[in-house]
Every structure is written in C-alpha cells, then in structure tokens.
A and B are shown apart, each in its own frame.
Chain A
C-alpha cells in the first residue's frame, strides 16, 4: 500500500527551464519598457506611508490603503453573510413544489446573472441609496447616534457619513452574489441522492427535520468548494462599488494614484493586498475541506 502512494520526486526538465526563461524575459522586458521607454521613475519608498501613518501622539494608524483594505473586508463579510441568507432562501425557492416560488427564484437568478454588474450597481445605488435609505432614516440615525454607537458603527460598518452608501453597496454586492449562491445551493441539494429523501419521508421526518439533519449537512460538504470560490469572488467583485465612491481598496487606489502619480507602485500594492486576502481565504477553505473529509471518513 505505502509504496503505491509515494509521490513522484519533482524534477526540473529542460522544457520547464525554457518556459521559466521565457516568462522571466517577458517580465524583464515589461520592466525595461516601463523604466526606459516611459521614463518612469520608480518610487517604492513613498508607498509605506500610505499604508500606515504615525499620528500626532506617535501611534501607528492605518492610512489610506489600509483603511481601504479594511472597508473591503467589512464590505465583503457583510455582503457574504447577506448573500448566503438570500441565496439559501432563493435556493429553496428554486426547488420548491410551488410553481410560483420556483418562478420567483428563477426570475431572480436569471435577472441578476444576465445583467452587467455595473448596471446593477447603478440601479441599486440610485434606488436603494436614493429612495429607501431616506425612508429608513439611516442618515439621521447615524448622525444623531451617541458617541459610542457611532464608533461601534465605524468599526463594524463605516463612518456615519458613509453609512448609507456603505449599506447600499453591501446590499448591491450581496444581491449580485446571492444569485450565484442560489444556484450553488440548488445544485447542491439536488445532488443529494433521491434515496436520502425517501428514507427521511419513510421515517416520518418533517420538511424542516429532513433539511436540518439529513440533507443540508450533506449538501454543505459538497458545496463548500464552489461556495468558497463565490466568497472569494465577493472580495474581488466588491471592487466594483468604487464607482459609487465607497472608499474601499480599489477606490482608495484611484485616489492615491490621482494624488501621487505613482501608478505602478500603487496598483501593484493593491494587487498584493487583494491577493493576501483571497489566497489566505483559499488556503483556509482547503484546510477546512480536508478536515471535513477526515471527520466523516
């Protein structure tokens, strides 16, 4: 048994070396064009102070880019949570016995998936932010809240003056991602063998019991990989709300670029920050998958 699963030793072949050489050459040429062709003056030393700054009391504070990163993280977490809730409900609608619910679920999914996200952003932003937020009185609430509530809001969501825009952006991203999560959940539930449903029915389990104890636990295990992919997409897609001036990472990058003209340094830094977020999430999910597989094996 042991011999059969021994992994092959990685070996560098001639072809690998050639490919590596070509890639290095292309990257080198791009660097050369930027430096020589565009007469670009690299100035990496300017970047760190936009990540962190030292305030008047000598404490380290997050500056423009890190603030943007935190906003992206907050936005992604809330959007993911909301999208999961909406997606789960719509997913159940998609497989419901009732034709009306199925149609409703289907319409939601097709409408969202077949519209450019940018268009959705504008529609939701001007409708949700322009019409619903004033009705709910979000701005008034945020402005008139006590000091401690305001700092709590700033930590969890956004500073009071951005709150209503932040909520609109979160809802927009959430609805957009929810359409995809709906399909993941529908496919996951439908992938469970029919026999599992039969067994639940034969034992007299109610719909809720069947879902809670038998179907969903098996579904979650199966949909974890695509769901994680969707969560990572949420982080990436959140960049689009920069068009409605949410101060998230991408928007802050544009501001910084406009102010300093450090085009390449700025966008490379932002790329790295996004990568840190998404790659660490992928690795975490990979671990979780291995753990779940072991715990049921």
Chain B
C-alpha cells in the first residue's frame, strides 16, 4: 500500500470552519456557531443523534448547503457566493452519499468518466485509464459496463467512492455512506474507506459505525443541536468521555 500518498499530516488547518450557523426555512437550527479545524490527512468522524446537524455540517463543507453566517476555508479557498471559488472547492472535495446517487442512465464506467472529462478536461482514454485503476482499487472491475441498477448496494457505493476519487480530491466527505446498506455489504465499503484512510486521505465521516470510528479515526466529534458537545481522540472519546450527554449517547448505541 502506498503510504501517505495524499500528503503528511501537518499542524495547520486544512479546512477551517469558523462559527458557522445555519437555520432551515422551517425554523430548525441545524448548526449554531460551529467551529472546527481539520488538518491535512486527518480522519474526523462526526457522530450524534439524528437531527443533530451532522449531515448539514458535511454538506456545508462543499457548498451543497449555504451557511447563514460564519466562514469556511478549504485549502486556502474561501467558500462564499463566488461561483468560481465554489466550483474550485468542489473539485477538491469528493463526497459520498447515503443513497449512492449514481447516474442511473450511465454505465459504471461512464459514471466515473463523466466528471473527469467535463471538469478535468481529460480525453476519453485518459479518463478510462483512471477509471479502471479506481475500479481495481475498489475491487469491482468486472462491472465496468453494468448499469447501477444491476449492482448490489455495496457495489454501487464502492462505485460512488471511485467516482469521487476520480476527481483526485484532497478531502473526502462520507455522509452516512453505509446506512442504506444491507448488513452483509457494510464491511466491503468500510474496507475501502479504511484503505483510503491508510493512504493518508483527509476524511470527514458521518457514520453510525462505532467500530470504524474507534479503529480508523484520528478525532471524533460528537454533536447535538448544531453544536459540538465533545471532541477528542477515539481512545479518549470511547473510554473516558467527559460529558454526561456523551456517556448517555454512547451507552445507548454501544449496547
């Protein structure tokens, strides 16, 4: 395995999230003065009860949701109303969704080729070469010509990961990537995610998989009602949680 392919962990913030707030039109407060810094190569796992704003936080990082106030800077680019900046950040940030969101009218190969050709302006041959490399990496080369509907959930999610990686992102966001999967398929997707983490990819992962959090993460953020309740290393977080609320949450999910 290539070690630290995506750059060594460094002390400066790679993603700087400064006091961001977001309230949905229906009045639900998703994020309130949320602040965190994510380092290059860091694997951050975000957990919390449903409705706590985890997914919204993730979706703000690449501008899928607009923030009401505060600031987000990714690799030196300020995420604001400037369309160019937004596209620039999206090129650098890959995202994997709970529902896979593959393009149903395209083959697996075309799904992964599309953005390479349109956004990275690669030729068909260059894109396909990269695509086949990535399919090998997620261990699903034989399905290159299949349509998403012919694949199992686990296979679809691995294709979705390959599609995001094809853009050579500097950071990957995982929004409950295994929550829609049948139990027997969760392992194969987590395996790919672990490999990525091992290669030094910067990752922000919203998940309910505590095993993954414990094993792979550099830092766990526990949030509730749009705020960070507690944040720390996996070891600290699972074994010596400080906050009462964290203990209550952990006892609920770890039984």
Contacts and interface: CB of A to CB of B under 8 A. Distances in A.
Interface of A: 193, 195-196, 198-199, 201-206, 209, 213-214, 217-218, 221, 296-297
B164 interface: yes
B119 A221 contact: no
A85 B62 CA distance: 34
Contact of B101 (A195, A206, A209, A218): A195
B124 to A, nearest CB: 14
B118 A198 contact: no
Contact of A203 (B104, B119, B149): B119
A188 to B, nearest CB: 14
A239 B164 CA distance: 53
Contacts of A217: 105
Given A195-B97, A209-B118, A213-B118, A204 B87 contact: yes
Contact of B163 (A196, A201, A203, A214): A203
Interface in B65-103: 87, 90-91, 93-95, 97, 99-103
A296 B90 contact: no
B90 A201 contact: yes
Contacts, number: 65
5 contacts: A195-B97, A198-B59, A204-B91, A204-B119, A205-B118
Contacts of A297: 147, 149
B115 interface: yes
Interface residues of B, number: 27
B221 interface: no
Contacts of A214: 103, 114
A122 B42 CA distance: 70
Interface in B115-167: 115, 118-119, 147, 149, 163-164, 167
Given A205-B115, A209-B118, A198 B90 contact: no
B241 interface: no
Provide the main secondary structure of the chain A interface. Answer: helix
Interface string B218-237: 00000000000000000000
A113 to B, nearest CB: 28
Given A195-B100, A202-B95, A218-B104, 7 more contacts: A202-B62, A202-B93, A203-B115, A203-B119, A205-B119, A214-B114, A218-B105
Interface in B7-41: none
Contacts of B198: none
A199 B101 contact: yes
A203 B114 contact: yes
Contacts of A209: 118-119
B166 to A, nearest CB: 9
Contacts of A206: 87, 118
B101 A201 contact: no
A202 B105 CA distance: 18
Given A204-B91, A205-B115, A213-B118, A199 B97 contact: yes
A203 B90 contact: yes
Contact of B63 (A193, A195, A201, A205): A201
A209 B164 CA distance: 17
Nearest to B150: A297
A196 B101 contact: yes
A213 B114 contact: yes
A205 B102 CA distance: 14
A85 B99 CA distance: 34
A296 B147 contact: yes
Contact of B99 (A195, A202, A205): A195
A128 B147 CA distance: 50
B105 A204 contact: no
A214 B93 CA distance: 20
Closest 6 CB pairs of A and B: A195-B101, A202-B95, A203-B115, A199-B101, A204-B90, A204-B91
A296 B62 CA distance: 31
A201 B87 CA distance: 8
Contacts of B59: 198
